[in-house]
Structure 1
Amino acid sequence: MMEKLRLGVFELTGCGGCSLNVLFLYERLFDLLELYEIGEFRMASSNREEGRYDVGLISGSVSTQSDLELLREARNRSDYLIALGTCATHGGVQGGANRTLKEKLRAVYGYEGNPMRALDSKAVVEYVAVDLAMPGCPYNKEELYQALIDIAKGIDPVRPDYPVCVECKLNEYECVLIKKGLPCLGPITLGGCSAACVRSGLGCIGCRGPLLGNINPASEYDILREKGYDDEYIRRRFKTFARWGQ
């Protein structure tokens, strides 16, 4: 029998949905437990083991000094580190805020004191190198399942490099941007979600972050303007999940 790999799940600042998404694998989580021994997963257990992990999963953004310390620990203890969710890969909603930390502290608390050692929210990938970035709010759990199976088999996981629009075409979904005039960021957003929003009759909200490589946000902007959306709406739409749109 093959010796099980050790898996650690680490959580930074976020809503917790990306960690819960691991549990939402339901029956297939037991398939993974045939291949992995989970040594740390605070969302599921108070157990915390010492030592190294073959694979580490980390979700959330770096928003406090303790987040940064935990991230560095996770990187140092994991042979293969996966950034889970858009908070970890692009900064998420909190990373897209326009105001600096001092401005936010002043607006909320009335002074710039920082006893909680908060930091300007940034993506995990801005601090450490990761072996796989899996964006989404939350990420596609099928993608995580397949990646963990591949890693256990010694196979490099597939990394999508195409826009959400490709998945619309593969699934024969009607283009909601052109046909219905709905705001859709599918042309400039990294695919891998099987066009979940469009399947539900909505426009892509861009939660997987910008497509890698050469993209043309200016063209997307022009199309949205032609559809009647104003500058402020488009700007907010672009920056909701990633700091690239500021």
Structure 2
Amino acid sequence: MMEKLRLGVFELTDCGGCALNLLFLYEKFFDVLEFYEITEFHMATSIKEKGPLDIALVTGTVSTQRDLDLLREARNRAKYLIALGTCATHGSLQASVEGRIRDRLERVYGTRANPMKALESKPVTDYVPVDYALPGCPYDKEELFQVLMEIAKGVEPVRKDYPVCLECKLNEYECVFLKRNIPCLGPVTYGGCNAPCVRSGLGCIGCRGPLPGANLPGHVEVLRSLGLDDEEIARKLRTFARWEP
């Protein structure tokens, strides 16, 4: 019998969807359990074992001191750490909120005191080395399954390095920008989702984060040509990551 890899799931500040998405593998989740022993997963079990890990899956943003301590614990214990979901890889919605944390506390609670030790929301990648980043809000669970199977078999998973537009072409989806003048972030967003928004007749909202090397200034001009002003463009680009158009 092959010795199973030890896997822990660590949840920072987020909606909980990325951790829950792992359970939505349904029957394939049992395939995962053939290769992995899950030693910690708050969403699924109260069992919490200490000790070294082969794999740590980390979801959410670092938004409190508790998050930062938990992230550092996961990094110290794990040989291989995966930032899971756009909160962990790019900051997502929490990190897109502008203004300093003390100012926001004062607006909401009427005081600048910070008893919960809140921090400026930032992605996991800002604090610790990450071995693999899998974006998405939520990520594609089939993509995670493939990554876990590859690691279990000793194969280093390869991150997608192409835009969502490529998947539209491969699937022969109608380009919503060219055909319907719908704003779309597909040309500057990480692929891997199989373009479900475009398949539904909507523009890509950029939930997988910015693609390095994409012609962002050029795409801003394209969005302006549709009549969007700079404030609206900036808001679209910053929804899931702190882009600087």
Pairwise TM-score range, normalised by the shorter structure = over 0.9
CA distance in 1, matches of 2:177, 2:216: 15
CA distance in 1, matches of 2:220, 2:54: 43
CA distance in 1, matches of 2:233, 2:178: 16
CA distance in 1, matches of 2:218, 2:111: 42
**Deviation at residue 140 of structure 1 after TM alignment:** 0.9
**Deviation at residue 119 of structure 1 after TM alignment:** 0.1
**Deviation at residue 122 of structure 1 after TM alignment:** 0.2
**Deviation at residue 205 of structure 1 after TM alignment:** 0.4
CA distance in 2, matches of 1:244, 1:102: 23
Cross-structure match for 1:152: 152
What's the TM-score once normalised by structure 1's chain length?
Answer: 0.98
Cross-structure match for 1:42: 42
Q: What is the letter of the counterpart of residue 56 of structure 1?
A: A
Cross-structure match for 1:223: 222
Query: Is 2:57 the partner of 1:57?
Result: yes
Q: How many residues align?
A: 245
Q: What is the letter of the counterpart of residue 44 of structure 1?
A: A
Q: Secondary structure at the match of 2:243?
A: helix
Cross-structure match for 2:77: 77
Cross-structure match for 1:87: 87
**Deviation at residue 38 of structure 1 after TM alignment:** 0.4
Cross-structure match for 1:9: 9
Cross-structure match for 2:164: 164
Alignment identity in percent?
A: 64
Q: Secondary structure at the match of 1:243?
A: coil
Q: What is the letter of the counterpart of residue 177 of structure 1?
A: F
Cross-structure match for 2:196: 196
Q: Secondary structure at the match of 1:34?
A: helix
What's the TM-score once normalised by structure 2's chain length?
Answer: 0.98
CA distance in 1, matches of 2:64, 2:244: 23
> Aligned-pair RMSD on alpha carbons?
0.9
Query: Is 2:243 the partner of 1:244?
Result: yes
Cross-structure match for 2:233: 234
**Deviation at residue 245 of structure 1 after TM alignment:** 3.6
**Deviation at residue 209 of structure 1 after TM alignment:** 0.5
**Deviation at residue 204 of structure 1 after TM alignment:** 0.5
**Deviation at residue 215 of structure 1 after TM alignment:** 1.7
Cross-structure match for 2:139: 139
CA distance in 2, matches of 1:142, 1:132: 16
Q: What is the letter of the counterpart of residue 107 of structure 2?
A: A
CA distance in 1, matches of 2:227, 2:149: 45
Larger CA deviation: 230-239 vs 65-74: 230-239
**Deviation at residue 219 of structure 1 after TM alignment:** 1.2
Q: What is the letter of the counterpart of residue 158 of structure 1?
A: V
Runs of 4+ in 1 over 4 A off after TM superposition: none
Q: What is the letter of the counterpart of residue 209 of structure 1?
A: G
CA distance in 1, matches of 2:179, 2:6: 48
CA distance in 2, matches of 1:187, 1:235: 16
CA distance in 2, matches of 1:78, 1:177: 43
**Deviation at residue 181 of structure 1 after TM alignment:** 1.0
1:173-202 deviations in Å (ceiling 9; x for gaps): 111111111111000001011111111111
Cross-structure match for 1:26: 26
Gaps of 5+ in 1: none
**Deviation at residue 112 of structure 1 after TM alignment:** 0.7
**Deviation at residue 217 of structure 1 after TM alignment:** 1.4
Gaps of 5+ in 2: none
